[in-house]
Amino acid sequence: MSKAKILILGGLRKDSLTDLEKECDVTVGPAGHRLHDDREWVLDHIADYDGVIVAKMAFDKEMIDAAKNLKIISTYGVGFDHVDVEYAKEKGIVVSNCPKSVLRPTAELTLTMIMASARRLRYYDHALREGVFLDADEYDNQGYTIEGKTLAILGMGRIGQQVARFAKALGMKVIYHNRHQLDNELEAELNAKYVDFDTLIKEADFLSLHAPATDETYHIINADVFKEMKETAYLINVARGSLVDSDALIAALKNGEIAGAALDVFENEPHPKQELVDMDNVIMTPHVGSATHVARFNLSKEAANNVLSFFKDGKAINQVN
């Protein structure tokens, strides 16, 4: 019996693929950095493959139609907005994601963003590099204590819940809004209170986004939201760039409607808007939520196991469609 042919499109760790390579015929293709050329290569070759692991390249209707033999698509990450999940389902193709491996490192980055914003690390770092040793006795040069502050979480899945655990340990008040309210036992463990969206944005000292990219969440954080937020509030986004209207964010920051932002994701990756780059009250990282050595090994292993389980055991792990 011939082995299933698997195409890898992304930066998976080679040392995580041993089990997959024993059972399947694995090819490492382009990662998708050269958007047009890499996509054309995949369109020309995808018909030969039974499974694919894809990091960032769009698997839209055109790509799926070209994939004549494809049976499973595994994303390399928790997000799957770059895959036309419904059309894949129509074509009988399973789509799986990797929700477990990214949980802890993404929550850790969120906590880092919160603390770096509160303690104004971007401002201090920039001043020192410009040769200015700020006077910490001046009120305007001081940061903020997070104990007692309200962390408002939009999207209370597993990552949001882990962020809530960190916040609870640091003495923050946690409120959240989600499509579904958590059960009473979990709310008690997290010491988190469910509120409506309007209350969430009005009471937030730190508004942390952990919702998926969908039609409903596109620009859910917009000009109207910023007008309702506290002038001392910070926006934290380690989820998806499309959740935030970046033009509205820039205007809110310029107008003092919020105090600052910390962003790991952007609408136009890998090109954040220059106005954000120039602001001392904006902290930016290049979409590195899962970028630790351990997490990337585990993520590669999780993606590989999605495919391996499907072809070896007939079980679809982490299926999203």
Look up 104 and say whether it is catalytic.
Answer: no
Q: Select which of 120, 122, 240, 296 is catalytic.
A: 240
Look up 240 and say whether it is catalytic.
Answer: yes
Compute the chain's Rg from CA coordinates.
21
Task: Provide the token pair at 168.
Answer: 């609870």
Closest CA to 287 of 13, 12, 59, 77: 77
What is the edge-to-edge ordering of all strands in the sheet holding 173-177? 192-194, 173-177, 150-154, 206-209, 234-237, 260-263, 282-284
SS3 string, the chain, reads: CCCCEEEEECCCCHHHCHHHHHHCEEEECCCCCCHHHHHHHHHHHHHHCCEEEECCCCECHHHHHHCCCCCEEEECCCCCCCECHHHHHHCCCEEECCCCCCHHHHHHHHHHHHHHHHCCHHHHHHHHHCCCCCCCCCHHHCCCCCCCCEEEEECCCHHHHHHHHHHHHCCCEEEEECCCCCCHHHHHHHCEEECCHHHHHHHCCEEEECCCCCCCCCCCECHHHHHHCCCCCEEEECCCHHHECHHHHHHHHHCCCCCEEEECCCCCCCCCCHHHHCCCCEEECCCCCCCCHHHHHHHHHHHHHHHHHHHHCCCCCCECC
Q: Select which of 120, 122, 287, 296 is catalytic.
A: 287
In sequence order, the β-bridge partners of residue 263 are 237, 284
Closest CA to 78 of 108, 105, 39: 105
- Residues labelled as active-site residues: 240, 269, 287
